[in-house]
Amino acid sequence: MTTPKLPVHTSAPRIPTRRDALRMVGGLGGAALLVNCDDGASTGTGGGGAGGATASGSTTATGTTASTASTTASTSTGSSGGWATGGTSVLQGKDYGNPFESGVGPTCTVYKSSTGGPCHAPSPVRKDVSEGFPGLPMRLELLVVDTSCNPVPNATVEIWACDTHGVYSGDIDGNNDAFCTGGDPVAAAAQWFRGIQTAGADGRVTFDANFPGWYGGRATHIHFVISVGATQYLTSQFFFDEALKEDVYNTQPEYEKTSGQGYQPNSGDNVLQQSGLTLAEAIVETAQQSDGAMLAWKAITVQA
């Protein structure tokens, strides 16, 4: 892999530009702005959150399960606070097992939709969405199921998130959107932390990414869209445990600390509140692996 140019991560002006723009609309006002900028793509119906990633169920896996693979990591070279650093190269060639091996539970309730926000841009089909940038390596496993808890074959999942400094990539609406990219042409020309994967018969997709950063007014989140063929079933977001975020941001060198101005905990996120999702429904499960990488997983129920 060609070593990427990293001006956007090593050049300070880009990062404050993004956060300063959000501060101008005022903390929680930034969250409200995202709600009001729904791109109209949300078609999900909903009466509750996704089923958990535990209990008896349907899918099978090769390799070790998440419970056996996710032993507490010891600090080693290239790690900080027990978490690995250096990006997705840590994940290459590794199988952390299938966290859904024991199923998704007896009740699968349709995941509630949420705004796609103003920062959606075309995503490439790929497993590794990091484009070689540093950060805490995260293997993200998503399982798409129907209301009977059965896997949805050939489900396509698109994800997008900000980078470790709270900046989105992509040519947003063809105008290098300053709200999303900080007005940085390098960010506008890139596609970091955007990707599409299509499941097989098991309804499961896998992405390699860095744990996302944060920006003022919003809690840490990842956007996603789930489709089957030409039918789009759900546009929404998922979130991360508060203590986990604090641990990552306060120990990892590529992230701004939680003490930074504008940091928004889950409890104060307007988008999460307006979606009707509870924290229990919206937060992904995570486990630190023996190499310091993060395994994150979530089962998402759609009305397919």
Say what the pLDDT of residue 209 is.
98
Report the sign of the C-alpha dihedral through residues 68, 69, 72, 76, in that order.
positive
Say what the pLDDT of residue 81 is.
52
For residue 133, give the nearest of 212, 238, 20, 195 by alpha carbon. 212
Strand order in the sheet with 221-228: 194-198, 155-160, 221-228, 231-239
Helix-, strand-, coil-residue percentages of the chain, each rounded to 5: 20, 20, 55
Cβ count near 292 (within 10 Å): 23
- Alpha-carbon span 67 to 264, nearest angstrom: 30
DSSP notation for 236-265: EEEE--HHHHHHHHHH-TTS--TTSTT---
pLDDT per residue, tens digit, the chain (304 aa), is: 444 334 344 333 334 444 444 433 333 333 333 332 333 333 333 333 333 333 333 333 333 333 333 333 333 334 445 999 999 999 999 999 999 998 887 789 999 999 999 999 989 999 999 999 999 999 999 999 999 999 999 999 999 999 999 999 998 765 556 779 888 889 989 999 999 999 999 999 999 999 999 999 999 999 999 999 999 999 999 999 999 999 999 999 999 999 999 999 999 999 999 999 999 999 999 999 999 999 999 999 999 8
For residue 293, give the nearest of 8, 19, 66 by alpha carbon. 66
Q: Which residue has the tokens 């445990």?
A: 241
Strand partners, 235: 225
- Alpha-carbon span 163 to 167, nearest angstrom: 5
Is residue 230 classed exposed, middle or buried when 0-12, 13-18 and 19+ CB atoms within 10 A define those classes? exposed
CA 27 to chain centre: 21
Cβ count near 131 (within 10 Å): 20
Report the sign of the C-alpha dihedral through residues 100, 104, 114, 287, in that order.
negative
CB 71 within 8 A of CB 289: yes
Say what the pLDDT of residue 225 is.
98
Tell me the domain boundaries of the chain. 7-301
- Alpha-carbon span 221 to 266, nearest angstrom: 9
DSSP class of residue 109? P
- Alpha-carbon span 63 to 139, nearest angstrom: 15
CB 257 within 8 A of CB 248: no
Which CATH architecture group holds 7-301?
Sandwich (2.60)
